């Protein structure tokens, strides 16, 4: 959190917060603050003018319908038929705003699948981790799984899937986001012999949906997700399909994306650890993520 930044937490979806309560000096540094919170849908953009080169937005599904957004989720709880549970998945956005992504209050569990209420938050606005917490009246929670679905208007989709660890049922679990995402419909990338030595790799830009796609021998193998506000681009997540991991392909994706981004945007900020590691190993890209520079 930046010094002097208000600590605003959204807690009750039925309550419209009076933004003047965060204080005149703090409010003066925000360009726009608005809640319209109906049926688990927020339209809110918090942008700090003095830090606009590093700002992110918690805007949910945009008017033009582009980008990956949270489209649904479910809890699978084997052996817990008729048990009750409170389920909460939250994320802390830049500026300390806590947003509920998915949940159910006092849900009567169905061992096969319990559907969660979800908020259509944009994937490119979410941080690197989410907080998952459950309260339940049963101790039989081995092999409980949480699944979240992201999709875009073009028909592409991603699935976040995790077996819940013990801490999720206690203080809460800080769950990684990109590491547990898989690309729906991706072909198994496991290869052997000479085919593994010289794959054909391409990086394709999808500007309408704000991501770069990695293709290996024509098959979808990864995504680099970003978000644009004005002239500023913010990189948020890099996803490599599980069967393509361990082959250095994230470097190909990040390098190809950064080469293209350099030609288009004067201001670039990064919130992705994969990109940070790439730039550390390839310092020639360091200027791209530093001070604003003239766009080419």
pLDDT of residue 12: 32
What percent of the chain is helix, strand and coil (3-state, nearest 5)? 20, 35, 45
- DSSP H helices, 93-225, are none
Q: How far apart are CA 155 and CA 151, in angstroms?
A: 7
Q: How far apart are CA 66 and CA 123, in angstroms?
A: 11
How many CB atoms lie under 10 A from the CB of residue 193? Answer: 6
Spell out the residues 6+ positions from residue 291 whose beta carbon is closer than 8 angstroms to its own. Answer: none
Residue 139 phi/psi, 5-degree rounding, is -95, 0
Coil, helix or strand at residue 72: strand
Q: Tens digit of pLDDT per residue, the chain (296 long)? A: 223 333 333 333 333 333 223 332 232 222 222 222 333 333 333 333 333 333 333 344 554 557 899 999 999 888 777 788 899 999 998 778 899 999 998 777 766 788 999 999 999 989 999 999 999 887 767 789 999 999 998 889 999 999 999 999 988 999 999 999 999 987 775 655 445 567 899 999 999 999 999 999 999 999 999 999 888 899 999 999 999 999 999 999 999 999 999 999 888 999 999 999 999 999 999 999 865 545 45
How long is the chain?
296
Question: Could you say which DSSP state residue 250 is in?
Answer: H
Q: How far apart are CA 60 and CA 76, in angstroms?
A: 26
Cα Rg of the chain, angstroms: 20
Q: Are 118 and 151 in contact (CB under 8 A)?
A: no
DSSP β-bridge partners for residue 100:
90
User: What tokens appear for 148 in the block?
Assistant: 């979240």
pLDDT of residue 266: 82
Does the pTM exceed 0.95? no
By DSSP bridging, strand 129-136 and strand 181-183 are unpaired
Closest-CA residue to 272 (of 148, 150, 173, 126): 126
User: What tokens appear for 272 in the block?
Assistant: 């992705």
Q: How far apart are CA 257 and CA 266, in angstroms?
A: 15
Residue 293 phi/psi, 5-degree rounding, is -140, 160
Spell out the residues 6+ positions from residue 48 whose beta carbon is closer than 8 angstroms to its own. Answer: 2, 5, 29, 30, 31, 55, 95
By DSSP bridging, strand 232-240 and strand 219-229 are antiparallel
């Amino acid at each position: 959190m930046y010094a002097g930044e208000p600590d605003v937490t959204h807690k009750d979806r039925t309550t419209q917060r009076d933004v003047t309560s965060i204080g005149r000096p703090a409010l003066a540094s925000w360009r726009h603050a608005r809640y319209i919170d109906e049926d688990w849908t927020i339209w809110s953009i918090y942008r700090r003018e003095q830090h606009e080169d590093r700002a992110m937005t918690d805007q949910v599904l945009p008017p033009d319908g582009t980008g990956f957004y949270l489209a649904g989720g479910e809890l699978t709880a084997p052996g817990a038929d008729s048990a009750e549970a409170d389920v909460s998945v939250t994320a802390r956005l830049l500026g300390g705003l806590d947003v509920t992504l998915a949940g159910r209050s006092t849900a009567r569990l169905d061992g096969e699948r319990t559907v969660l209420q979800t908020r259509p938050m944009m994937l490119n606005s979410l941080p690197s981790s989410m907080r998952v917490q459950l309260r339940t009246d049963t101790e039989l929670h081995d092999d409980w799984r949480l699944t979240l679905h992201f999709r875009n208007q073009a028909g592409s989709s991603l699935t976040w899937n995790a077996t819940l660890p013990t801490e999720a049922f206690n203080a809460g679990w800080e769950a990684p986001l990109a590491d547990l995402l898989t690309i729906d419909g991706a072909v198994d990338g496991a290869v052997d012999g000479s085919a593994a030595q010289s794959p054909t790799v391409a990086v394709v830009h999808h500007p309408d949906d704000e991501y770069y796609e990695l293709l290996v021998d024509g098959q979808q193998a990864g995504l680099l997700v970003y978000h644009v506000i004005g002239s500023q681009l913010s990189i948020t997540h890099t996803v490599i399909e599980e069967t393509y991991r361990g082959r250095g392909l994230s470097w190909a994706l990040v390098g190809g994306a950064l080469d293209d981004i350099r030609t288009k945007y004067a201001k670039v900020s990064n919130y992705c650890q994969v990109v940070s590691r790439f730039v550390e190993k390839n310092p020639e890209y360091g200027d791209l993520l530093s001070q604003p520079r003239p766009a080419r």
